[in-house]
Structure 1
Amino acid sequence: MSFEIKLPLFEGPFDLLLFFIERDELDIHDIPIFQITNEFVGYLRELEQLNIEVASDFILTAATLMRIKAKMLLPRTEKDEEGNEIDPRQELVQHLLEYKKYKSAIPDLTAMEEQRLAQENRGNIQEELQQIANANHFEYELQDLSLYKLMRVFEKVMTRYTEEQNRPKHTVLTYPYTIEGQRDYIMNKVLERHKVAFSEIISEYPDKIGMIFNFLAILDMLQLNVIGVEIGEGFNDFAITVAEGQANQVLQLLVE
C-alpha cells in the first residue's frame, strides 16, 4: 500500500510565486520569467518525487508560465491602442499584485477573528424563545415551517445535485516530454550530422504535444545562441545547425 503526504506550505500557486519573488528580491513589475518558470517547475518536480499530490491550479500556473516564456522568445507583434508592445507578463503581474493586496489583509482579519472568538455569546436566547413558545402554546422551532418552504428547500437541493452531476470534469494528462530532454535530443542530432531538417524531427515526434515541445526547445536554443537555422528545401521546412563558434559551449551544456 502507498500513502500520500500533503504539506500546506503554500496555499496556492501565487503564494509560491510571491515566495520566489520575495526570496530573491525581484522586481514584481519586471519578473525574470525564465528564472521564475524554472524554479516553479522545479518545485513541482520535487513534489512529484516525494509522491505529493500536485493540485490542478499549480499545473495550470506552470503551463501559463511556459506560455509566457514562449511568447518572450518570439518577436512581439501585439500592441496596445497607443502602439506600444504588450508585455506578455502584464496579466500575470496584475494577478500577483491583486493576490498580494488581499494576502496583506489576512493578518487584520485574523486579529478580528481572534477578538471575536474571545467574546462570549448570549446564553439565554434559546430559553427566551422557549418561554415565548410556551406562553403561546406552540413549538417555536416549527412556527415558520410550511409545506411551501419545504418544497422550496427540496427544489434547491435537487437543482444543486443536478448542477454537480453536469459539471465538466477535467482530466490532466502527463506527457513524456520536457524542454530539456528535447533540447538534448535535437542537439545530439545536430552534432552527429551537422545539419538536421525540422521535418525529420517532426516525423519522429508526429503527435501534437511532441511537436510543441520540440519547437519550444528550438526557440530556447536559439535564445541561448547554441544553434542556427537555415532555409531548407521544402516550403515550410528549415535546417538546424550548430551556431558558429559555439561547438565547445554546446558540448559543455550537454555535459551539464
Structure 2
Amino acid sequence: MSQKGESINHVTLKLASFEGPLDLLLHLIKDAEMDIYDIQISSITDQYLSIINRTGQMPLDAIGQYLVMASTLMEIKSRMLLPVIDSEVVEDEIDPRTDLVEQLVEYQNFKNASNKLESMASNRSDYFSKEQSCTPKEVVDEQPLVIPGLNLDVLQNAFKRVLVKQVERQPVQKKINVQSFSLADKITEIEQILVCSNGRLTFDDLFEHPMVVSEIVLTFLAILELSKLDQIKLKQTNSYEMIQIIKVEV
C-alpha cells in the first residue's frame, strides 16, 4: 500500500474548504491512496491532528465537530496500539475502526448522490430557467423532468437537509436495521402514506424515521418519479416553507 500520505504537505489545507470532519478524513484517505476499509489509523490521525493544530481561530461551533472527531481518532489509535495478549480473544473482538468506516462509507454515498444531483442541475439548467410552455403531452414525456414552481436546486437543498438531519439523529455507534428496497417499493410506500395523509404531506415527512443513505436516495428518486408520472405535485409557496407533496386526483 502506498505511503504517499506520510509525506503530503497539508499546509495549504484549510478547514473552511471542507464540509466537516468526515469530508476532511475522506480527503486524507484518498490523498494517501488508502483503502477506506483498511485505514492506517495512526498515519491518518497524525495528519488530521496536524491540520487541526495549524488552524487559526474559528467559531466554537465550527471547530467543535472537528475536535470531537480528533478525540475519536485518538481513542481508536490508542486501542489499536494496545498489546495483543490473547490471539484467540482478539479474533472475537470488533475492529476499533468499524464504526468510523461505516460512517465514512455512508458519508461517501451521500457525497456521490449529492454530486450526481449537482450534475443534473447543471445539465438541466436551461430547462429550469424557462417558463412552462403548453407543449403537447407526448412531447413533454420525452423532455427532462420539469417541476412547475420548483427547480432542481431547491430539491437538492431539501435532499441535503434531510441527510444532515439523519446524520445528527444517529450516533456513529447506532446500528440501523437495513432493509432491501426497490424503487417500485418506495413508490408504493409513498402512495400509501399519501392516502393515509389525506393526499398531502411535506417533503420532510417522508424522512422522519431513521434511514441509511441508500434508502434516503431511493426515497428521493421515488418522489421524482411520481412527479414525472404526474401522480404528485411538488409545491413551495416561498423559499422559507417546506416543499409540499400533493397527490394528484384522477
With normalisation by structure 2, the TM-score equals 0.40
Higher normalized contact order (CA 8 Å, seq sep 6+, divided by chain length): 2
Structure of higher CA gyration radius: 1
